[in-house]
Amino acid sequence: EERGGRGSGGLFARCAGANLEKRNLHLDHLMWIRNAPKLRMARVTAAFRSALLAAQADLLAAGRLEAEGDVFHVSVQQLDAAIKESSFDLRAAVTPNRATYARAKSAKSCPMLIDSRGRILKPNLVEGEPGALVGAAISPGVASG
């Protein structure tokens, strides 16, 4: 007997009761497979952030950082060097990046879209007649109603 193929009424033709629940469990599992990489990356990012905050606490206690959040103004390589070598001047590494952060934070607007080349893309705003809809058409045609 052919299962779920032609002539059998389709994939869910014979689903009833327990069979339907079983297939729903399989489908639910398959849909989570789609989200698994995103969920895994979120967990990895959270673990990495926790490790950074722990390193920051140690460096603050040792007087090698000035303020909370400074650990996010250095690269991982710089942080690694600072942990390995007590002679590494971590404050000097933080200063230029903190200045860049302050400049970005004081900007009047944040770019909505930056392409892979670093160009900031802005919408092409068009002035229209009063009451007219302007913008990019999703579907060609005429609006009515």
Q: Residue 83: name the closest of 58, 102, 61, 66 by CA.
A: 58
142: left (phi over 0), alpha (psi -120 to 50) or beta: beta
Contact 126/137 with Cβ under 8 angstroms? no
Q: What pLDDT, on a 0 to 100 scale, did the predictor assign at position 137? A: 65
Residue in the structure block whose two tokens are 């603050």: 60
Among 11-15, 16-20, 26-30, 77-81, top mean pLDDT goes to: 77-81
The pLDDT tens digits of the residues spanning 54-97 come to 999 999 999 999 999 999 999 999 999 999 999 999 999 999 99
Q: What's the distance, CA 123 to chain centroid?
A: 22
Burial state string for 108-129 with b = 16 or more CB within 10 A and e = fewer than 16 = eeeeeeeeeeeeeeeeeeeeee
Please check the confidence at residue 2 and state whether its pLDDT lies above 50. no
The pLDDT tens digits of the residues spanning 106-122 come to 988 888 888 889 888 88
